[in-house]
Amino acid sequence: MTIHRTQVAIVGAGPAGLLLGQLLHRYGIDNLIVERQGADYVLGRIRAGVLEQTTVDLLDEAGVSRRLHAEGLVHDGYELCFGGARHRIDLAALTGGKHVTVYGQTEVTRDLMEARAAAGLPTVYEAKNVALHDFDGTAPRITYERDGATHTVEADFIAGCDGYHGASRASVPEGAIRTYEKIYPFGWLGILADTPPVSHELIYTNHDRGFALCSMRSPTRTRYYVQCPLDDKVENWSDAAFWDELRRRLDPATAESLVTGPSIEKSIAPLRSFVAEPMRFGRLFLAGDAAHIVPPTGAKGLNLAASDVRHLAYALREFYGERSAAGIDRYSEVCLRRIWKAERFSWWFTSLMHKFPDDSGITAKLQRAELDYLVGSRAAATTMAENYVGLPFEGAAAAVA
């Protein structure tokens, strides 16, 4: 049995936990991360690909953005493909010059892991049976098992950054938390391949066979998705079957120019909207997917995790630096206002672009009317663009920044 003592114990070494740990370290606040999986497993998960500017700014502040600026792809727009034609949404023109950066979550995680190792910060990987204790008091603890022994982490605060299936939210007494959830009747089948992108920008497709997305990780590595049934299995999809289905959902010229190749990774992700309220329970703070999930259509998941972390890191810096609890007392309220706006945008974009089952056909007609309106109205396109690039921060975090 070993006992570690730290100021902030972080559960989960995904992007939220690692980014929080890096920011706290830069603020001189001790922290320790406990992660259920091994580092290679965490790096092996292929997930998000688009970073909002506020996320890039935070990675700059964390001192981990050198490779991001060297290898990330700045995108000033994307295209909507429907009715056999592509229509560009000019993000920069519609938002006064804002853009997004395409840089895989895997690379963000790798950059954060390397920075943490270089700083010699403690991360316990392959920690089993992680449990949270006494976070309703002033001496919260985490216990975990490793190497045949039970270990304890004593801290002032616990940050629950352990994702949707983690132990942190599950540790909150049922009566103290309320959850909201919407499960979509389809999933995303994603493929990663070392092929050149079919276009230099992302293409979101609404097609009567279902949604498709043409994304990328670099000029030589692509990420594509097609909507698939909720009960579909990745074993049902050969690479050839995936490429054929993707071609069917693209306009003819784009389908013709698609370069295919063997998959490096292929997986199916379910889509859900989920929010847990509140996000603070005494000395326990939930951040990232531990508190909320968005359907990936709007590319908000990773970016919301970063904005939670920003609020929490600034609040803890204020607590330790100025002995003020103002930031931590407002954490949940400030985060949730931004989270619900991102939930709405992600739900709206998902509802607009996907094929919904059991329908008289009216949904497709309403979707087409909205798409025609979107590409024909600067006001409508502006609304879409300002949500896609990321809404501005509010409150203490913005005031401090």
Catalytic residue IDs: 75, 204, 296, 300, 388
Q: How far is the CB of 322 from ligand FAS (least distance, A)?
A: 27
Q: Is 140 one of the binding residues for ligand PHB (CB under 6 A)?
A: no
Residue whose CB is less far from ligand FAS, 109 or 260: 109
Number of C-beta neighbours around residue 226 at 10 A: 25
Among 14, 17, 49, 327, binds ligand PHB (CB under 6 A): 49
| Per-residue b or e along 356-382, where b marks 16 or more CB atoms closer than 10 Å to that residue's CB | eeeeeeebeeebeeebeebbeeeeebe
Closest residue by beta carbon to ligand PHB: 49
Residue whose CB is less far from ligand PHB, 171 or 215: 215
Strand duo 157-160 + 284-286: pairing:
parallel
Residue 364 Cα distances to 45, 206, 289, 358, 370, angstroms:
33, 9, 31, 12, 10
Among 12, 210, 296, 327, binds ligand PHB (CB under 6 A): 296
Length of the chain: 401
C-alpha 401/C-alpha 310 separation (Å) is 10
The token duo for 133 is 């204790």
List alpha helices for 224-361, DSSP H: 239-248, 252-257, 301-322, 326-353
Stretch that binds ligand PHB, among 84-92, 282-290, 296-304, 377-385 (CB under 6 A): 296-304
Q: Is 80 one of the binding residues for ligand PHB (CB under 6 A)?
A: no
Q: Is 162 one of the binding residues for ligand FAS (CB under 6 A)?
A: yes
Q: Is 223 one of the binding residues for ligand PHB (CB under 6 A)?
A: yes
Helix (H) or strand (E) holding 22: helix 15-26
Among 24, 50, 246, 384, binds ligand PHB (CB under 6 A): 50
Residue whose CB is less far from ligand FAS, 77 or 296: 296
Phi and psi, residue 285, nearest 5°: -120, 130
Q: Is 215 one of the binding residues for ligand PHB (CB under 6 A)?
A: yes
Contact 150, 143 (CB under 8 A): yes
34 binds, among ligand PHB, ligand FAS, none (CB under 5 to 8 A by kind): ligand FAS
Stretch that binds ligand FAS, among 22-30, 160-168, 226-234, 379-387 (CB under 6 A): 160-168
Residues in contact with ligand FAS by CB under 6 A are 11-17, 34-37, 42, 47-49, 105, 127, 130, 161-163, 165-167, 269, 288-289, 296, 299-302, 305
